Every structure is written in C-alpha cells, then in structure tokens.
Structure 1
Amino acid sequence: MLHQKRGSIRSVDLAGYMGYSKPSVSHAVKNLRTGGFLVIDENGCLCLTDKGRTVAEKIYERRQFFMEQLIAAGVDQETAEQDAHQIEHAISDLSFQKLKEKAQQTN
C-alpha cells in the first residue's frame, strides 16, 4: 500500500500516484471520511481509521492473491496487476474465500 512505501500521504500525493484529478480525490476522501474510513490529521495527511485499515488490508490481500495466481498461470506482471485490481473489487467474499481455500489445498 502507498502508505507503507511513503509513510504519510496527503490528497495531492494520492492524486499524483493514482493518476486522478485533485477534485476526484478530494471527493473520494470526503466520502471515505463520512464513512469513517479515514481522518485527516493536523498536517493534512490522510490516516486510515481501524475500519479503513481493515478494508484496505482485505483489498490488498485479494489483490496479492489474484496477482500471484495470474502470474503463476503465465500472465505477465503488468496484465496481472491490472486484472487483479479489477477482480479484487468484483468478487464476493464467499467466492474469494472458496478460491483461497482451494489454492491452499493444492499447495
């Protein structure tokens, strides 16, 4: 996650990293704050709440799982990253758990 790489993050950093406009990021940050997923500290840095961290870790776990599976199947790194990003948001919790269990059984 970006926070692990850089430490503290501001909205402008996130916009640059993600390639989104500052207004788009500002809107998303507002929604995440309203939902209780993040707070902004006195320096303007974005900080995940416990609730936000839980969701971020869940998404990160999914992305890593799907990237590993796709790369193991012979998909190139760039395509695996793009596809894993899409899959991580589209798949249900139940389907992800079943796939993860199946992968653990075969290892």
Structure 2
Amino acid sequence: MKLHASGEDYLETILLLQKEKGMVRSVDVARYMEVSKPSVCHAVSTLKEGGFLTMDVDFFLHLTDVGREVAEQTYEKHCFFTHLLTEAGVDPKTAEQEACRMEHVISESSFRHLKQSMDKKE
C-alpha cells in the first residue's frame, strides 16, 4: 500500500507520542496534530488496513514493524531538513513547516545520497 504524506505524518506523530508518553490513543494524535477525532479515526482505519498499525482492546495504537520503519524514516528526514534549513538561516518555525513538506517528496535514495554528502562535509 502506497502511503500519502498525511499517512506518513500520522505514523510519525504516533512514533513521537510513543517516545514521549509510552501509550498513545487516537485522541492524543488528534490533539497533537490539531485535527478532528473523525479525521484520526479515518486515518487509523486506513493505516490498520495497510498493516502499518494495530489497536489493542484498550484502544491504544501500536506501530507494526513496517509502520515503525516508515515513521522513523519520515522523522529522520524531518529532523535532517529542519536542521539544514535552520543552519542556512531560515527561521525555526518556517524551517519546521517546510521540512514537513520536504520529507514527503524526496525519494529514499536521493535522501540517502544527500545525507551522505552532507555528512562528508561535516
């Protein structure tokens, strides 16, 4: 199943909330992302069908191995582009917003090449 940017954002948010809180419910995701509960419900349903997450009997969300991999890759790109933009002088809020868009459009291969190139320079 091909994920859209919004699906990657939901997985990334669940990953971050799990690191922060341990256990995550849909309401936590809605608050963090500032979206409606029905939007989260629809996304969770789609991500469950795609095999990216599960929900237990207490309604806690759990990333599958595939979901965690996508979330971690998305978050890595987000951090990389946020850092790159702020280092270039972009104000942090703008850098954060633009990194969120950039993380979804770059291919994994191009990202690895860019990251490797930047690592060599440092």
TM-score bracket for this pair, using the shorter chain length: over 0.9
Q: Please state how far the C-alpha of 1:95 moved relative to its aligned partner.
A: 1.5
Q: Give TM-score scaled by structure 1 length.
A: 0.95
Show the counterpart of 2:42.
Answer: 27
Question: Can you give the 5+ residue segments of structure 1 that lack an aligned partner in the other structure?
Answer: none
Q: Give TM-score scaled by structure 2 length.
A: 0.84
Over the aligned positions, Cα root-mean-square deviation in angstroms equals 0.9
Show the counterpart of 2:29.
Answer: 14
Matches within 5 A, 1:28-107: 28-107=43-122
More relative contact order, 1 or 2 (CA 8 Å, 6+ apart): 2
Question: Can you give the 5+ residue segments of structure 2 that lack an aligned partner in the other structure?
Answer: 1-15
Cα distance in 2 for partners of 1:50, 1:94 equals 21
| Regions of 4+ moved over 3 Å | none
Q: Percent identity?
A: 50
Q: Which whole-Å deviations, capped at 9, do the CAs of 1:9-49 have from their partners, x for residues lacking one?
A: 11111111101111111110001000111000121010101
Q: Which whole-Å deviations, capped at 9, do the CAs of 1:68-90 have from their partners, x for residues lacking one?
A: 11111111111111011000001
Cα distance in 2 for partners of 1:29, 1:40 equals 9
SS at match of 1:39: strand
Q: Please state how far the C-alpha of 1:97 moved relative to its aligned partner.
A: 1.2
SS at match of 1:63: helix
